[in-house]
Structure 1
Amino acid sequence: MKRLVVLGGGESGVGTALLGKAKGYEVFVSDKGKIKPKYQDVLENNEIDWEDEKHTESKILNADLVMKSPGIPPKVDLVQRLIAANIPVISEIEFASKYTDATIVGITGSNGKTTTASLTYHILKQQLSVGLGGNIGTSFAKQVLEDDFENYVLEISSFQLDDCKDFKPHIAVITNITPDHLDRYDYKFENYIASKFRIAMNQDSNDYLIYDGDDPVISNWLELHPIQSTLLPFSLVQTFENGAFLENENIKITIDNNQIIMPTKDLALEGKHNIKNAMAASTVAHLLKIRKQTIRESLENFHGVEHRLEHVLKINKVQYINDSKATNVNATYYALESMEAPTVWIVGGQDKGNDYTELFPFVNEKVKAIICLGVDNQKLLENFSSMVDIIVETQYMSEAVKIAYKIAKSGDNVLLSPACASFDLFENYEDRGRQFKDAVRNL
């Protein structure tokens, strides 16, 4: 009996353990932190051996196969020892994809991947049997075991791709590539780019890569590293024979002379970046033969994902906006770009090697005050102190929101868009976003 060791007892880990057991593996789950009670119950009920708050090496280094949570860096000693022992270390995506013949849509990118994945799923589910998983929602492995959908939309992070070897989505989407997570990639942008492109590494000419044709990072990489799949770019400024582009406020999508046209004026989501997300999702839907009318209606009634430019409340004519999901500079760029009123900006957290230069024009033009919410705000203070009259520091969300409430005047926005990871003060970006919303509701 082959031994599967799962490192990390969260959603993807427990899902992998269940699928592994069903496929005849002897399974052991190990988590250095605490496994949540709901996941402990699942493991107990399925008689799967587990431990938490430690890694017992003797029970791990005898594995035939290891699935590691994407949150565990490859450089940690235990992972290095597994690699040295020639024990394959893979991601949930890699493991689960071997047990399904479904059509897989894999979506990656520095920003927009959650919105694009959620929107793609929202369109496809009107007509197809489809599951949503990966870096979002229910574990992909668990869905393969329990639901056996004919199609999957997977949001996939670079960390998950790093542990893929044979994974081959029929349709791959790269929304964009901007510097992020550089602390995991030896502070080399090209390592991170290569990681994203792993989504297409096993594709052949029957597969598709949908990508932002306006993104120079993607275009340059494709020129130097040609891939086998059929390329379908999308753009706001160029036109393509095959792909999606904007013409007179309409999205036009052409694939092999088959064209569909979508008006942008009725899109539920605002902002230029969301036109691109809509282009990517509609191109997938068009490839999978979804009716034009269905695509159009879905784009009109999809209202976005939690913690992404989410309008929380208006208090005294001040709009409070939760963009906690903006964990890198480029995401915050989109947020600030879409602000139409003077903005009190709550920013900060765990810096991942950020360069804030691209935000300067927006900060000068739109931001009236900055509230730094992090353990170490030195870099923010150095970058922005000279640009605004008010810049303050706090380590409590409730205090950040109270300060914002005092500063903001009628007609202003208060925007939480941190541009950083949340792990210095919060459990994750969802926890940060929920605390923001609770603090706003308590004003």
Structure 2
Amino acid sequence: MSSRSHYRSGKKSLKFLKETKNNESDSSQKSTDPKKPDYNPPGLIHPRWPELPAGQGELFFECTLFLYSVLALFLQYLNLYKTLWWLPKSYWPGSFKFYMINPYLLSCIGLMLGIRVTKCFWNSITELFNILNIKRDSAFWTTIEYGILKTPICTMVLSSFVFSFTRVYVEYSFKALFYFAIPLFAYFFLLWTGFDKIKEEDKIQHGFDEGSGLYKIFKPFFFFAAYIFAIKRSNSLMDLETVAHLCTNNPTQNRAEANELTRDFFNRLKYSIFAGLSTAYLSIYLPCVFLPEKSNYGMQQYLLINNAWIIQLFIIVALTSFSVYFTYLIPLPYFDLLQKSIFHLGFWEQLDRKPSPDEHVMEFSEDFPYPYMDKQIISHNDQYFKACATKGCMTVAAYPGDAAQFFFFMLIKSV
């Protein structure tokens, strides 16, 4: 199933599925470990997911959503600039007050609505030429890719937006900058919320001696580049075509899988929310902000608009765009992957009392090689927790007191 997102700056899969596979070969050697719980783990068999037809491609989906946003924009302009042509004594020759519509504003809004389609088309060209030029060493294919396709497309889009926005800025000055910058700042804030930290894989291998003068000169650039790469890595989405659930009783691997899926799920959720709100903002709200204040003769004019109808249209467009994007980014097989993850994860219930002497209490350890039994009581950070396994599973692999894992478990369990 194709589920590549336009926000996906790099494809990634569950790396821990490959990093910890070697642990299974050691499980037989640990069978005599005295720390092992006195039980035999049941054979965990997940329900088999039925074969589903392949979903629509990314480019087709983005074009469909773009056409929907254009339709919403048309309805908003029809609501704002409609005439009373149907009245018996109406002198309006048509249904639109075309002379009041600013074509440059309409061009800016349309180009911003289609930015995801442009980026998706860019990614499609990249994937095509990755197949044609696998080693990326052919000057012929590189010239066609950038000289004939990518560069002219980006030049046309950017030049059209700059030309149109310049005309809008001349008329509205700072107001145009402020309202058109809101989606950009919202997107940067969206990326910042997903930022984790700079890891070694994000740093550039510069080859300079850290005590040299060149390194001190380029150090801010290296840090900024590592920061950008860290944001790109933290906000990228997993490629669902290459991800598979590895059923294991290793608690370290179960926690790593849950943490990665938690991060990925909330990234998909916030991208869906941003897509819904940005579509409604551009197609419904911006036309109301930039209403013509003067007539062609320079006289002040005021348009009467139905605010209640506009609010309803904004909510409908936002919810529709969100739901469409959510179902695209989170298909049914992805929910199956989440369900399998929380099946092993379980959760810990914090106790508000001190365990009695008859209750067996264990000290929680991240390095403990086996999951904890259901209803097992453990102590962690001077607090006591009780293991609560999912139905059909006898063990818990979650980290006690981890709010993100607990919320992820409860959310997916209720779906």
Q: Shared topology, TM-score over 0.5?
A: no
Question: TM-score, structure 1 length as denominator?
Answer: 0.20
**Bigger Rg over Cα:** 2
Question: TM-score, structure 2 length as denominator?
Answer: 0.21
Identify which of structures 1 and 2 has the higher relative contact order when contacts are C-alpha pairs closer than 8 Å and 6+ apart. 2
- Specify which structure has the higher proportion of helix: 2
- Specify which structure has the higher proportion of strand: 1
